[in-house]
Amino acid sequence: MIGRLHNLISILDLTRQDIDLILEHSAKMEQVAIKKSKDLEGKIMACLFFEPSTRTRLSFESAMFRLGGSVLGFADVAVSSAGGKGETLADTIRTVERYADVIVIRHNLDGSARVAAEFSKIPVINAGSGSEEHPTQALLDLYSIKKLKGKIDGISISLCGDLKYGRTVHSLGMALSHYDVTVKLVAPPPLRMKPAVIAEMKEAGLRVTEVDTLEEGLKDVDVVYMTRIQKERFPDVREYDALKGKFRLGLKEVGLMRDDAIILHPLPRVDEIDPEVDSTPQAKYFEQVHSGVVTRMAILKLILG
């Protein structure tokens, strides 16, 4: 149970029971988010964002404020001693643990959140570690699926786009391993899903297929999960240039989807979903943004409450 869990570093830290508990608590937070509460009054959350963020940081802050807690941190590494003066991550953590009750960290290096947790006496939540993982995004994605489709077991889902460097699809793929789902992995060949994630899904007994065109990915599924090609993670920008714009979901492509299918995206989008798609009944990515607040309220309350 997460009540006894100190950190949230990998989605693999959670059992199916833990995930279901977080999703139940997230649903209860819908009302608390409107009324606000004082459940975490006196608690302080430190947000250490070494990489850009809009939704993750602001939804964590909004979640903490709605629970009566306080927030400090930096959103730009250049203004911190880690960026400006070369302070180590270990020293940054050993400092911030004296100012706060929980640390939310985003960092460009794989393994960074795990390292932070090793040096921290207070709980650490991974808000994105390199191209490796983004566990709280996976939880809000599952919450969105459950809310919008009424269930997770029994659904079929296509994970589309940059499955190599995209951390959200790594965490979501592993989270889905706890459920009875059919998964299509939809990526241009150079951006195929990490073998370790495929192994995890297959070992759990999921029906997994790989396809390399978006058109194939859109047909016969309940959920289309689009992602951005992660330009900043390519070792050579020419590789990115060769792949950019390959997957574009426009009105014509939406026509290939089931009428009751939904489109999710962790956002930000670049050009992979045309703005004209936003007004279709399938487009649910801005509703998914709201799930970020209630899911993070549930996570903070289970860790600090």
The residues annotated with a catalytic role in the active site are: 55-56, 85, 106, 134
Measured from the CB atom, the residue of 10 and 227 that comes closer to ligand NCD is 227
CA angle 197, 23, 1 (to 5 degrees): 80
* Member of 228, 284, 296, 301 binding ligand NCD (CB under 6 A): 228
How near is the Cβ of 56 to ligand NCD at its closest, in Å? 4
Q: Name all contacts of 33-36 with Cβ < 8 Å and 24+ positions apart.
A: 33/66, 33/293, 33/294, 33/297, 36/66, 36/67, 36/68
CB 261 within 8 Å of CB 222: yes
Give strand pairing partners of 283.
263
- Residue 164 makes contact with ligand NCD by CB under 6 A: no
Measured from the CB atom, the residue of 25 and 167 that comes closer to ligand NCD is 167
- Residue 267 makes contact with ligand NCD by CB under 6 A: yes
- Residue 107 makes contact with ligand NCD by CB under 6 A: no
What span, in angstroms and rounded, lies between the C-alpha atoms of 74 and 142? 28
How near is the Cβ of 244 to ligand NCD at its closest, in Å? 13
* Member of 25, 43, 167, 296 binding ligand NCD (CB under 6 A): 167
Measured from the CB atom, the residue of 43 and 167 that comes closer to ligand NCD is 167
133 DSSP assignment? B
CB 201 within 8 Å of CB 173: yes
* Member of 80, 137, 291, 295 binding ligand NCD (CB under 6 A): 137
Measured from the CB atom, the residue of 43 and 269 that comes closer to ligand NCD is 269
How near is the Cβ of 270 to ligand NCD at its closest, in Å? 9
66 DSSP assignment? H
How near is the Cβ of 249 to ligand NCD at its closest, in Å? 15
How near is the Cβ of 295 to ligand NCD at its closest, in Å? 12
What span, in angstroms and rounded, lies between the C-alpha atoms of 261 and 259? 6
The pattern of x and - marking residues 175 through 194 that bind ligand NCD according to CB under 6 A reads --------------------
Length of the chain: 305
Q: Which residue has the tokens 């390399």?
A: 212
Q: Which residue has the tokens 């903070």?
A: 300
- Residue 296 makes contact with ligand NCD by CB under 6 A: no
The pattern of x and - marking residues 52 through 91 that bind ligand NCD according to CB under 6 A reads ---xx-----------------------------------
Measured from the CB atom, the residue of 66 and 167 that comes closer to ligand NCD is 167
By CB under 6 A, how many residues form the interface with ligand NCD? 11
Measured from the CB atom, the residue of 66 and 228 that comes closer to ligand NCD is 228
Count other C-beta atoms under 10 Å from residue 80's C-beta: 18
Give φ, ψ of 76 to 5 degrees: -145, 115
Cα 248 to the center of its chain, rounded Å: 21
Q: Please report which helix (H) or strand (E) contains residue 291, including its range.
A: helix 285-304
CB 3 within 8 Å of CB 302: yes
CB 173 within 8 Å of CB 142: no
- Taking the CA atoms of the chain, what radius of gyration do you get in angstroms? 19
* Member of 43, 66, 134, 301 binding ligand NCD (CB under 6 A): 134
How near is the Cβ of 127 to ligand NCD at its closest, in Å? 7
Positions that interact with ligand NCD (CB under 6 A): 55-56, 128, 134, 137, 167-168, 227-228, 266-267
